[in-house]
């Protein structure tokens, strides 16, 4: 099939690369010419495990990138993969969705081929019907027989996105017609996964609900962890026992600093604002956010209990990305921790295997190191904020600290003498 992907960011690039890997001919429309050039050279502008390897195989063959909409009229499917960042009140900003939809409509004007415009971006329920379809159809007029619309949400975990795309738990497709749904379903025919077909609104809501539920599991686990900490109980032992219940399962029960990244915080807040717009009071979802926002402060409280006043104390921070195996620091729990440390006058030495350059844009004045040992040199305390697997191998490096006060926000270390924020 011929597939056009609008947006060469995280979701767009992974989606386009995987569809090309499956044998489709894929074009990416990315307005940032620098990103488009890198993609055409087989160089990913983001870090994602296995992405560079796949790009080398397909770039210049059945994957190309451009910074304009010309030529997209040959596409069977046009996937909208642009950002929906939060507005000041937490609701979803749909300006990029609207802009992409309008551009698609003008680019398809005069085309007689059947196209399925498919939203992959995370959008509030009703967006495809109320925003995308009118924006696309305005320049096209009444040619409903040549255009179909679908919503096909993505469920990609950063750091594991390639595997998630190629081995999905499910494929969700909401559509305006069975014909449109079948076109999108055909694009996935090489993948072994159940296909769930729904209305457009239901497909949009499935994505929000999935993220909100996973975020709820995390905040619930953190609240239980905070109670366990007071009782002297290892919350990881508790959640191991809980997770064996098949009704619950063990995933997303790891207590710690809370959730971050580009999806959970913004999607839960967008769902809260959507509920409020319709007169509902989402008490549980608001509590999920509240627990998450309070959690980073607990590691600072614990640190002050252990070493007292933080002014002029050297604190080694290991882990800056919001999770392991990515360089993404969006809404990383390390950001409020570092902000509080700086406010209290601490001197910070930081190390992350991938995310140092990303964090330098937020905190340019920190001392960044290329290995954990150098970051730990002479430190009064160490905070481990990201669950990088290589941190589990640290041992003798901690001997370089002035005082071996080590507090984990994620349970990853294997050496002794460690205290956790929830355990």
**Residue 141, pLDDT score:** 84
Q: In whole angstroms, what is the distance from residue 340 CA to residue 368 CA?
A: 18
Q: Would you say residue 143 has pLDDT above 80?
A: no
Check if the beta carbon of residue 410 is closer than 8 Å to that of residue 386.
yes
User: What are 181's two structure tokens?
Assistant: 């749904």
Segment 169-174 mean pLDDT: 98
Segment 174-196 mean pLDDT: 98
86 DSSP 8-state letter = B
Q: Would you say residue 144 has pLDDT above 80?
A: no
User: What are 369's two structure tokens?
Assistant: 């190191």
Architecture of domain 199-423: 3-Layer(aba) Sandwich (3.40)
Q: Kindly report, residue by residue over 221-234, the tens digit of the pLDDT.
A: 999 999 999 999 99
Q: Would you say residue 77 has pLDDT above 80?
A: yes
Q: How confident is the model at residue 142 (pLDDT cuts 50, 70, 90)?
A: confident
What positions carry a catalytic annotation? 263
Segment 61-83 mean pLDDT: 97
Domain ranges of the chain: 2-197, 199-423
Place of tokens 């989402």: 282
Q: List beta partners, residue 413.
A: none
Q: In whole angstroms, what is the distance from residue 122 CA to residue 94 CA?
A: 10
Q: Kindly report, residue by residue over 337-368, the tens digit of the pLDDT.
A: 999 999 999 999 999 999 999 999 999 999 99
Q: How confident is the model at residue 411 (pLDDT cuts 50, 70, 90)?
A: very high
Q: How confident is the model at residue 145 (pLDDT cuts 50, 70, 90)?
A: confident
Q: Kindly report, residue by residue over 304-336, the tens digit of the pLDDT.
A: 999 999 999 999 999 999 999 999 999 999 999
Helix (H) or strand (E) holding 241: helix 235-243
Q: Kindly report, residue by residue over 88-101, the tens digit of the pLDDT.
A: 999 999 999 999 99
**Residue 172, pLDDT score:** 98
What CATH class has 2-197? alpha beta
Q: Do domains 2-197 and 199-423 have the same CATH topology?
A: yes
**Stated pTM of the model:** 0.94
Segment 250-255 mean pLDDT: 96
Residue 207 vs residues 180, 191, 213, 367: alpha-carbon distances, Å? 20, 20, 10, 39
Segment 135-164 mean pLDDT: 92
Q: How confident is the model at residue 282 (pLDDT cuts 50, 70, 90)?
A: very high
Segment 138-167 mean pLDDT: 93
Q: In whole angstroms, what is the distance from residue 402 CA to residue 376 CA?
A: 9
Q: In whole angstroms, what is the distance from residue 419 CA to residue 423 CA?
A: 7
């Amino acid at each position: 099939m011929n597939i056009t992907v609008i947006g060469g960011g995280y979701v767009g690039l992974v989606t386009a690369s995987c569809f090309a890997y499956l044998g489709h001919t894929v074009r990416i429309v990315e307005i940032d010419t620098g990103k488009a050039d890198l993609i055409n050279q087989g160089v990913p502008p983001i870090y994602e495990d296995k992405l560079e390897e796949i790009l080398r195989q397909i770039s210049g063959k059945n994957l190309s990138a451009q910074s304009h909409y010309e030529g997209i009229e040959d596409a069977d499917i046009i996937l909208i993969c642009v950002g929906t960042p939060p507005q000041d009140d937490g609701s979803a900003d749909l300006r990029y969705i609207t802009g992409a939809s309008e551009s698609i409509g003008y680019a398809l004007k005069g085309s007689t081929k059947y196209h399925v415009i498919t939203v992959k971006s995370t959008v509030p329920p009703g967006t495809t019907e109320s925003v995308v379809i009118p924006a696309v159809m305005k320049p096209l007029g009444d040619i409903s027989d040549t255009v179909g619309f679908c919503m096909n949400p993505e469920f990609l975990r950063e750091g594991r996105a390639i595997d998630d795309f190629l081995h999905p738990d499910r494929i969700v497709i909401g559509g305006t017609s069975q014909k449109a749904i079948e076109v999108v379903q055909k694009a996935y025919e090489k993948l072994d996964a159940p296909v769930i077909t729904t209305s457009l609104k239901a497909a949009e809501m499935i994505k929000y609900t999935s993220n909100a539920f996973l975020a709820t599991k995390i905040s619930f686990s953190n609240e239980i962890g905070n109670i366990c900490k007071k009782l002297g109980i290892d919350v990881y032992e508790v959640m191991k026992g809980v997770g064996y219940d098949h009704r619950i399962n063990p995933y997303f029960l790891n207590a710690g600093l809370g959730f971050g990244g580009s999806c959970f915080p913004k999607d839960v807040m967008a769902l809260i604002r959507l509920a409020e717009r319709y007169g509902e009071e989402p008490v549980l979802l608001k509590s999920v956010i509240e627990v998450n926002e309070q959690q980073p402060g607990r590691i600072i409280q614990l640190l002050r209990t252990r070493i007292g006043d933080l002014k002029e104390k050297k604190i080694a921070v290991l882990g800056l990305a919001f999770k392991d195996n990515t360089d993404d620091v969006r809404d990383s729990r390390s950001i409020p921790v570092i902000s509080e440390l700086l406010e209290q006058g601490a001197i910070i030495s930081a190390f992350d295997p991938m995310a140092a350059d990303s964090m330098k844009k937020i905190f340019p004045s920190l001392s960044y190191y290329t290995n954990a040992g150098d970051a730990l040199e002479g430190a009064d305390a160490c905070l481990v904020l990201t669950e990088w697997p290589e941190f589990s191998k640290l041992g003798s490096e901690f001997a370089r600290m002035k005082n071996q006060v080590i507090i984990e926000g994620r349970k990853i270390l294997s050496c002794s003498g460690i205290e956790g924020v929830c355990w």
